A and B are shown apart, each in its own frame.
Chain A
Amino acid sequence: MSFLAPWFIVAGMAAISLPVLFHFFRRTPRGRMPFSTLMFLTPSPPRLTSRSKLENWPLLLLRAAILLLLAITFGRPLWRQLLELQNDAPTATRTVLLVDTSASMRRGDLWSQAMSAAAKAVSAAGPHDELSIMAFDAEVRKPLTLEAWRQAPPDERNALAQAALGSLSAGWSATQMDQALIAAAEELEAADVGGTGMEESPNKRPAGGAVRKQIVLVTDLQTGARSADLQRFEWPKSIDVKIVSVATPTANAGLHGLQTTADAASPEAAAERLRVLVSNAGDSRREQFELAWQPLAAETTSKQATADKATSPTTTYIPPGQTRVIRAPALPAGGALKLLLKGDDEPFDNCLFIMPPVKEHVRVLHLSDDPADDPQTLRYFLERAFDDASGVRAVKVETIAPHAATTRAPTPADLEDVALVVIAVERTLPDNWNAALTSWVDQGGAALCVLPNASATAWRALLPVDLQGPEHIKLSESDRAREYALLGDIDFRHPLFAPLADPRFSDFTKIRVWRHRRALLDDAAAKQFRVPARFDNGGSDAAGDPAVLELARGAGRVVLFTFGWQPRESQLGVSSKFIPIVTMLVELGRRIAPPPANYDAGEIVDLAQLDAGAAKKAAATKGWTIKTPDGKETPVAADSPKFTLAAGPGIYEVRSPVGLHRIAVNVAADESRTAPLGVEALEALGVRLAKDVPEATPELVAERRTLQVQELESRQQLWRVCLAAALGLLLVETWYAGRSARREMVVSAS
């Protein structure tokens, strides 16, 4: 045991002698008695008893012990052995070397700077240290795991790590720094928890040796690096992050497409209306940029001459740190969809490849005998609901009278692009119609049955066989005594009404329904039908009549409207709710969704989503071949339809036995934000940054040792124990002294 303030012990020892001295110096007469006058008194012979030995040993010892404990308390004791132990143990470091391989690392000589920094970190690893290498951009890879490092012989480890570094190269993906840091921290933590720690290492270190855990992050620390997830992550206190930041003084501006509108008839027209986002990095020194179309590499041979002639570049001015949305220059005749930004130092994000989405054409089949242009019919409103063909989807309404002699039943191929079948006829459809429609619904189609009257039977054929009997759903005409019914109970979670769930649009009270069919479902039907909307005629205790019923059938669905939208039956057709509802019906029945055509570099494409319908099936069995912009072809097996777009920006061609898809891949927009991010931003997110340790001088070592001793003392806090003991002894002393005083008094009184 040693003391932080030993002079207190000396003072305490001196204090202990005081009670002994007091004991000896005590005057023999018990007390002095002041009295008003001595004129009537005569002196009586004194009976002094001299005391030269200690009377009350226990009390003296108690008091001395209290003083000694107080002196020790103030001396601030500590066990120094622990300190020696701590100092003897060598500090091993377990390091995760985290290398940024995102697209922004392609700038200037950043990558070579990063490699040399990483190599330096690798060579700094001593024989006791452990190292693993992780590379990250949009995803995290592990070129060298801790396990591999441990298993390698100590003298080969460095070479192993250098080789792992050599296998890395700058990619094209976005920087998801948060994911990488979290993964690295978890790796370090897992090395502790998993018991694969230092103890199993071939060269064991002394027990009690602390393992310093650190992450060396080699990155350009750009503003566009994602760090949001760190907010949700509680950074471990034992892990320090050392940031090795590489920087280049070059200027950078990035080019990115906004959502391409496919409302033009042709891709060229779409490109004409294309607007792009040009962002200039905050540390850029350039402000003048040019935008020009450039032919795609594959098309260069035939069309380059015309393209070069027709392209007239757009000049734009963007101050550093700002972003502008500008209209792309007029498209040259060649129709190349590669837009190039000129004027900055870094070419990695200067190309914009555009693949305008294909306009979707769908049909709505209306089975009805309605005449054209009669405003009292369903057909009139249905056709006009899809009048506008300027959107991303062109919907064509075809009205067919199924019972007409000239009409033939549709084949599955006829129904391929049909999104919705509206059945508004009364009589049962011909069998071949029913067969075609049921199989179409089973494959994912949506059939809307509008009940013209209570005796209509056509719709029943679309129900499952066990529900087709009239006893399951009994229809009757609504009560005419009531003036009108409103849609009272609407399930806004149902996809049909979900777009209208907002309180601004959810007012259905303006739609009056003059007549409707009352559908009475038995238990079997009630189990299978969903009722997204009911009328308000139920009263307080009973549910109202169903207004809309829905039945899932196979992959598709059958929707029943118990009322029509024509003015004779209701005001739905003339209300603002009609178009959203029928559009949602088309959406529900649409089986071929156009695949997305624009991706960020590094994204993972689900190839199965590119095809649909029959083509999807075919592709799913045979697999795909992908041609990357550099001309390399990669086959993808059918059982793992995922492909990482890692080969940089450009137009990728995905070939399946049934078709060809071209997808445009561009560098992620965030990668263009190359201005350096302050380390404070990471610190603010709770990441513990390693502090630079100054060189050790003798003074510094002594100072550090003093600090260590103080820290150890404040951690041990032995003085508290001493103080508590002193207080306890004080209580004992008080009790003992009081008891002996009382006893003395009793003796003297008697």
Chain B
Amino acid sequence: MTTEPVSTDAPARSSSGWIDPATLMRIKHLEMRARVVVEGFFSGLHRSPFHGFSVEFTEYRQYTPGDDPRYLDWKLFARSDRYYIKRFEDETNLRCHLVVDFSRSMDYGTLGFTKADYARTLGATLAYFLHTQRDAAGLTTFHDDVLDYLPARYRPGHLRRLMLLLDRPGVGTSTSLTKPLERVTELLSKRGVVVLVSDFLAPLDGLSHQLAALASRRHEVVLFQTLDPAELRFEFAEPALFVDAESGRELYVDPHTVREQYLARFQAHQKQLQELADQLGIDLYTISIDQPLERALFDYMQSRARRGRPTRRRAMGSSAGAGPGGKA
């Protein structure tokens, strides 16, 4: 599967009422930010070409002796005089693990907010979205090593803990993708979705190895590359002393002379990353941080839809829809 690099031009969809990231970032509360995006996304769904696309997590199953009577739906019994078991999410639910880059290079941004802010909001948005669908969400934050780890769960208070971890100020230094991914691979025992949010502005050596390890464990991996427009276009006017955010190294650069060289090298890096993703069958979404977050959410949904859902669940969902509750 291939993904087109996201255009850095203003997206046509933003005219559909999606929220400008600069406006969104003014909301200080991370959870509130996520909620705004997700709810805006839901309301946007009505006009969406993918109308009807939704994940049915709860369903009814005819009671058979041996089932836990705690899960009997008594209201349905009252209506239909039949025993049905209310099937819970944990049986069918997906586990999504968010891996968010907190390195110092993410602390760069020319739009009034940084890539890290955007990445945090993206992570929070996904977590909140998953939470609304009763999916379990986990979190790993990293810079050159794992900062925090929160296993994927769906339980009261979990989302809040996740938000708190996401909202922690970044203390990272350099970006190293291999070591954190190695740790994540070790920690994630159950199969699920791994969403990696980073700028991937680091040497890619070893990354393919780790991603392959994840994929081989039948994890579904989605890469979100958040980039600042300045990184994408390198439109600086004045010659200046450029300082590396991670190493502090200083370099006198005249943008006019080095711009083309920069763009060439950057494209090569992006190409390498894309090839790597393609090889492993991983979805890579490059997002300029001036693009609406709903778009990233949409990309994620699209990726999920493309992959399809387990046939078992879909069959069950359809049978439940025509089921006795008249719940369609």
Residues of A that sit less than 8 Å from B by CB: 29-47, 748
Please tell me if the beta carbons of A37 and B252 are within 8 angstroms of each other in the complex: no
Cα A47 to Cα B254 in complex, Å, equals 9
Given the interface contacts A36-B201, A37-B246, A44-B258, does A30 sit within 8 Å of B251 by beta carbon?
no
Which 7 pairs across A and B sit closest by C-beta, in order of nearness? A36-B108, A40-B265, A33-B240, A44-B254, A36-B105, A46-B252, A38-B244
Tell me which residues across on chain A come within 8 A of B251, comparing CB atoms. Answer: 38, 41, 43
- Residue of A36, A38, A44 with most partner-chain B CB within 10 A: A36
Contact A41 B201 (CB under 8 A): no
A33 partner residues in chain B, CB cutoff 8 A: 236, 240-243, 253
Cβ of B243 and Cβ of A32 under 8 Å apart?
yes
Are A36 and B252 interface neighbours, CB within 8 A?
Answer: no
Contact B231 A36 (CB under 8 A): yes
Partner of A30, one of B108, B240, B253: B240
Task: Please judge, given known A-B contacts A31-B240, A36-B201, A36-B231, whether A41 and B253 are in contact too, CB under 8 Å.
Answer: yes
Cross-chain contact B199 with A36 (CB below 8 angstroms): yes
Q: Is the CB of B252 within 8 A of A29?
A: yes
Q: Chain B contacts of A41 at CB under 8 A?
A: 242, 251, 253, 258, 262
Q: Which of A29, A35, A43, A47 contacts B245 (CB 8 A)?
A: A35
Cβ of B143 to closest chain A Cβ, rounded Å:
13
CA distance A39 to B269 in the complex (A): 10
- If A33-B243, A33-B253 are given as contacts, then 19 extra A-B residue pairs at C-beta distance below 8 Å, sorted by A number, are A29-B239, A32-B242, A34-B243, A34-B245, A35-B243, A35-B244, A36-B106, A36-B231, A37-B245, A38-B242, A38-B251, A39-B201, A39-B202, A41-B258, A41-B262, A42-B258, A42-B261, A45-B254, A47-B254
**Interface hub of B106, B228, B242, B258 (most chain A Cβ within 10 A):** B242
A39 / chain B contacts, CB cutoff of 8 Å: 201-203, 265, 269
Q: Chain A residues near B240: list those with CB within 8 A.
A: 29-33
Can you report 21 residue pairs joining A to B where beta carbons are below 8 Å apart? A29-B240, A29-B241, A29-B252, A32-B241, A32-B242, A33-B236, A33-B240, A33-B243, A34-B243, A35-B108, A35-B243, A36-B105, A38-B242, A38-B249, A38-B251, A39-B269, A40-B262, A40-B269, A42-B261, A46-B239, A47-B254
Assembled-state Cα–Cα distance A560/B122 (Å): 116
Q: Which residues of B contact A (CB under 8 A)?
A: 105-106, 108, 115, 199, 201-203, 228, 230-231, 236, 238-247, 249-254, 257-258, 261-262, 265-266, 269
B238 (CB) vs chain A CBs: closest residue: A30
B108 A47 Cβ-Cβ under 8 A? no
Least CB distance, B216 to chain A, in whole angstroms: 29
Q: Which residues of A contact B252 (CB under 8 A)?
A: 29, 43-44, 46
- Do the beta carbons of B266 and A40 come within 8 Å of each other? yes
Count, A-B residue pairs, CB within 8 A: 83
Complex Cα–Cα for A46 and B254 (A):
8
- A31 to B251 CA separation, bound complex (whole angstroms): 12
Q: Give min CB distance, A291 to chain B, whole Å.
A: 100
A178 CA / B169 CA spacing, docked (Å): 84
Complex alpha-carbon distance, A37 and B202, angstroms: 8
Closest CB of chain B to A40's CB: distance in Å?
4
Residue of A nearest to B269 (CB): A40
Q: Do A36 and B258 form a contact, CB below 8 Å, given A29-B241, A30-B238, A31-B241?
A: no
A169 to B85, CA, bound (A): 131
Whether B253 pairs with A43 at a CB distance below 8 angstroms is: yes
Q: B265 to chain A: which residues have CB within 8 Å?
A: 39-40
The minimal Cβ–Cβ distance linking A187 to chain B, given in whole angstroms, is 81
Q: How far apart are B266's CB and chain A's nearest CB, in angstroms?
A: 5
Q: Smallest CB–CB gap between A41 and chain B, Å?
A: 6
* Cα of A37 to Cα of B115 in the assembled complex, Å: 13
- With a 10 A CB-CB cut-off, give which of B105, B251, B266 has the most chain A CB atoms: B251
- Expressed in whole angstroms, the Cα–Cα distance for A717 and B263 within the complex equals 67
Instruction: Tell me whether A47 and B262 are in contact (CB under 8 A).
Output: no
Nearest neighbor of B107 in chain A, beta-carbon distance: A36
Cβ B244 vs Cβ A37 within 8 A: yes
Q: In the complex, which residues of chain A have a beta carbon less than 8 angstroms from the beta carbon of B262?
A: 40-41
Residues from chain A with a CB closer than 8 A to the CB of B242 are 32-35, 38, 41
Knowing A30-B238, A41-B253, A44-B254, the reply to whether A36 touches B228 (Cβ < 8 A) is yes
Docked CA distance A36–B199 (Å): 10
Q: Is the CB of B238 within 8 A of A31?
A: yes
Contact of B239 among A38, A42, A44 (CB under 8 A): A44
Residue in A closest to B174 when the chains form the complex, CB atoms: A37
The closest CB in chain B to the CB of A44 belongs to B254
B230 shortest CB reach to chain A, Å: 8
B212 to chain A, nearest CB (A): 23
- CA gap between A41 and B244 in the complex, in Å: 10
Question: Chain A contacts of B243 at CB under 8 A?
Answer: 32-35
- Docked Cα-Cα span, A32 to B202, in Å, equals 22
Give the distance in Å from the alpha carbon of A36 to the alpha carbon of B105 in the complex. 5
Tell me the smallest distance from the CB of A451 to a CB of chain B, in Å: 106
Instruction: Tell me the complex Cα distance, A313–B108, Å.
Output: 118
Tell me whether B246 and A32 are in contact (CB under 8 A): no
Q: Measured between alpha carbons, how far is A43 from B115 in the docked complex, in Å?
A: 25
Note all chain B residues with C-beta closer than 8 A to A35: 108, 230, 242-245
Tell whether, in the assembled complex, residue A37 and residue B201 are in contact, meaning their CB atoms are under 8 Å apart.
yes
What's the minimum C-beta distance from A476 to chain B, rounded to whole angstroms?
104
CB neighbours of A36 from chain B (8 A): 105-106, 108, 115, 199, 201, 228, 231, 245
B91 CB, min distance to chain A CBs, angstroms = 43
User: Is the pair B250, A32 in contact by a Cβ cutoff of 8 Å?
Assistant: yes
> What's the minimum C-beta distance from A702 to chain B, rounded to whole angstroms?
61
> In this complex, what residue of B is CB-closest to A46?
B252
CA distance A36 to B289 in the complex (A): 14
With A41-B262, A43-B251 already in contact, the answer to whether A34 and B239 are too (CB < 8 A) is no
Q: Which residues of B contact A47 (CB under 8 A)?
A: 239, 254
CB distance from B242 to the nearest CB of A (A): 5
The smallest C-beta distance from B321 to any residue of chain A, in angstroms, reads 48
Min C-beta distance of A421 to chain B, whole Å: 109
Q: How far is the CA of A40 from the CA of B262 in the complex (A)?
A: 5
A399 to chain B, nearest CB (A): 115
B194 to chain A, nearest CB (A): 24
Residue on A with the closest CB to B114?
A36
Specify the chain B residue showing the minimal Cβ separation from A40.
B265
Which of B115, B245, B253 lies at the interface centre, i.e. has the most chain A CB atoms within 10 A of its CB? B253
Min CB distance A35 to B, Å, is: 5
On chain A, the residues within 8 Å of B105 by CB distance are 36-37
Min CB gap A211→B, angstroms = 75
CA distance A89 to B1 in the complex (A): 107
Nearest B residue (CB) for A33? B240
List, in ascending order, chain B residues with CB within 8 A of A45's CB: 254
For A32, the chain B residues whose CB sits under 8 A away are 240-243, 250
For A38, the chain B residues whose CB sits under 8 A away are 242, 244, 247, 249, 251
Chain B: which residue is nearest A48 at the CB level?
Answer: B252
How distant is the Cα of A34 from the Cα of B250 in the complex, in angstroms? 9
Alpha-carbon distance between A39 and B246 when the two chains are bound, in angstroms: 11
Cα A382 to Cα B78 in complex, Å, equals 122
**Of B106, B108, B257, B269, the contact of A34 (CB 8 Å cutoff):** B108
Closest Cβ–Cβ distance, residue A357 to chain B (whole Å):
101
Contacts of A44 in B (CB 8 A): 239, 252-254, 257-258
Q: What is the chain B residue whose CB lies nearest that of A749?
A: B237
Question: Which residues on the B side are within 8 Å of A30 (C-beta)?
Answer: 238-240
Q: How far is the CA of A225 from the CA of B254 in the complex (A)?
A: 100
**Residues of B contacting A46 in the complex (Cβ-Cβ under 8 angstroms):** 239, 252
Among the interface residues B115, B199, B252, which one has the most CB atoms of the partner chain A within 10 A?
B252
Measured CB to CB, the nearest residue on chain A to B244 is: A38
Q: Give the shortest distance, in Å, between B34 (CB) and chain A (any CB).
A: 24
Least CB distance from B54 to A in Å reads 38
Chain B's nearest CB lies how many Å from the CB of A49? 12
B251 to chain A, nearest CB (A): 5
Question: CA of A724 to CA of B3 in the docked complex: distance in angstroms?
Answer: 68
Question: A37–B201 Cα gap in the complex (Å)?
Answer: 7
Give the docked Cα–Cα distance between A121 and B231 (Å): 99
What is the bound-complex CA distance between A47 and B245, given in angstroms? 23
Please report the C-alpha to C-alpha distance between residue A47 and residue B253 in the assembled complex, in whole angstroms.
10
